Amino acid sequence: MRVPPILFLMLSLWAPAQVPRGLVVSQERLASEAGAQVLREGGTAVDAAVAAAFALAVVHPAAGNLGGGGFLLSRAADGRATFLDFRETAPAAAHPRMWLNGGVYDEARHHASLASVGVPGTVAGLREAWRREGRLPWARLLRPAIRLAREGFSLTENQAASLAAQFPEFRKHALTLAQFSKRGRPLKAGDRLVQRDLARTLARISRDWMDVYRGETARLLLRELRANGGLIRAEDLRAYRPVLREALRGSYRGVAVLAAPPPSSGGQVLIQALGMLEAFDLKAAGSSSPTAVHLVSEALRRAFADRARHLGDPAFNPDLPLDHLLSKAHVEELRASIRMDRASVSSTEGFQWPKDRPDTTHLSVLDRQGRAVSLTYTLEDSYGLKRIVPGAGFLLNNELGDFNAAPGLTDAEGLIGTPPNLAQPGKRPLSSMCPVILVKDGAVFLVSGSPGGRTIPSTVLGTVLQVVDFGMGAQAAVDAPRFHHQWLPDRIQVEASLPAATVAALTALGHAIKVVPKQGCAQVILVRHGQAEGAADTLRWPDSASVSE
């Protein structure tokens, strides 16, 4: 059928810019390859993300998961943005004082007990994303994960080291030790990791995703929780639903920003910080210069202060002042308080945040049609509770540790008790995850995200600034030195690779400095001059890989 000229013109104006190849970038090569193969078979970016995420549950058990939750931000070929919240929820038995024992805060209960397990959202979230934007059969997307779990895979040096680091914790749980050891001894590089119970669970999910919520997998999960003090019941599993939300929207130097809304704080911190920084000439200052690090840290300080005071699950905080926090007037007020000649002082009359663990994982996907996915998900701690569900082969999360400790409880260790993020039935704990997609001239420009707890927005902000302000390519932006400020504690955390002269100058301005070996693990896709560049963060996680279709 011949297309009328006017319709052809309209379609050509609407049609997204295509790229010569699709890309999948994640923390494990086997997962990236699983997603890239899906793209080769004609799958969408969401198809590839789903396949890679299930593969990560097998080959990256520290954070890839079936028993956790997260967020998926996608941009379709026609420009529509979708944000899917599949964060874990608190069970019906949850309440604001649930982390107290005889009126005293119990950290072990908050972070290391079965009471800290949230209702898992990963499988429901990936299924909903596929239902909306997938093309290939659901069972096809789980095939790589099932094979990797059933047949096993050879551990890399990095994977073996990650497992070995957790060995003392694994010893506390016989099933976890059995799954991640060789007759009770640590696995070594080259050893094959086979996970048959996990393979059977994945096979059940490939036939019926609801198995996690009301089938055999649900039965195995509930039996373990009931027997050992967990709070989740069958009704909690049946009630779980992912939530479709409006992505936060901002702009920075003419580039549109799509980012995560609450209950993630990542988008708020990112967009606020960018708004403050837009008035400064960072390019003239230079990447990793004292001026640039000082300004970015001061912007982060202020954005994180707002995060701590105001953010939580919007379903339980109907008056959440997000419009005000992101308004031009408020951002300009925050910017006006930044001094060029000295560091600000974070008020100790305020408060800090509950412990937010750094062990998350992120993947970025772009397909040939210009569709993009930025997906971040987690178990909370590295390997969650380090506890395998008997017969199901997957690890439990300890995600409810992201709730505040108790009403009104504030101490020098960083506990707070403000209402927006106290535990309640069905509530989703506040997160720092920050999946982001940047759009330039109507097409995807940058896809970014990272693990790292509260450092996530800082890491993602860094990748944006390195590309937009300093003109770096994808790999240079990922490899650049990183730093982080979160209001309290009042210090800049810097990677050891930040120039010594910069650290000295920051100290002279009054900043306290904490040096760390590494921060985050960004996985980035950048589209420049019609070409897609994938950048895996091999400096900070050697197994990271960018794989093209």
pLDDT tens digit sequence for 143-163: 999 999 999 999 999 999 999
DSSP per-residue codes, 480-527: S--EE--SSS-SEEEETTS-HHHHHHHHHTT--EEEES------EEEE
pLDDT for res 17: 55
d(CA 314, CA 498): 37
Task: Return mean pLDDT, the chain.
Answer: 93
pLDDT for res 120: 98
pLDDT for res 10: 37
Reduce the DSSP state of residue 433 to 3 states and report it. coil
- How distant, in Å, are the alpha carbons of 273, 277, 330, 484 from that of 303? 6, 12, 11, 12
Among this protein's residues, is 361 annotated catalytic?
no
Across the 549 residues of the chain, what is the mean pLDDT of every consecutive 10-residue run? 35 50 97 98 98 98 98 96 98 96 93 97 98 98 98 98 97 97 96 98 98 98 97 98 98 98 98 98 98 98 92 95 97 97 77 54 97 97 97 98 81 60 96 98 97 96 98 98 93 98 98 97 96 97 98
For β-strands 248-252 and 100-101, DSSP reports them as unpaired
d(CA 240, CA 217): 15
Active-site entry in 122, 201, 217, 360: 360
pLDDT for res 357: 54
DSSP per-residue codes, 247-290: PEEEEETTEEEEEPPTTB-HHHHHHHHHHHHTTS-HHHH-TT-H
Q: What is the pTM of this model?
A: 0.94
pLDDT for res 108: 96
For β-strands 372-380 and 359-366, DSSP reports them as antiparallel
d(CA 303, CA 265): 10
pLDDT for res 299: 98
Q: Which domains does the chain have, with CATH numbers?
A: 29-70+84-242+382-421 (no CATH), 245-356+432-548 (3.60.20.40)
The structure tokens 């794989």 sit at 547
Query: What are residue 526's DSSP bridge partners?
Result: 446, 533
pLDDT for res 406: 87
Burial of residue 12 (number of CB atoms within 10 Å: 0-12, 13-18, 19+): exposed
d(CA 52, CA 547): 11
The structure tokens 């990748």 sit at 463
CA-based max dimension of the chain: 77
CB 377 within 8 A of CB 63: yes
pLDDT for res 14: 38
pLDDT for res 200: 98
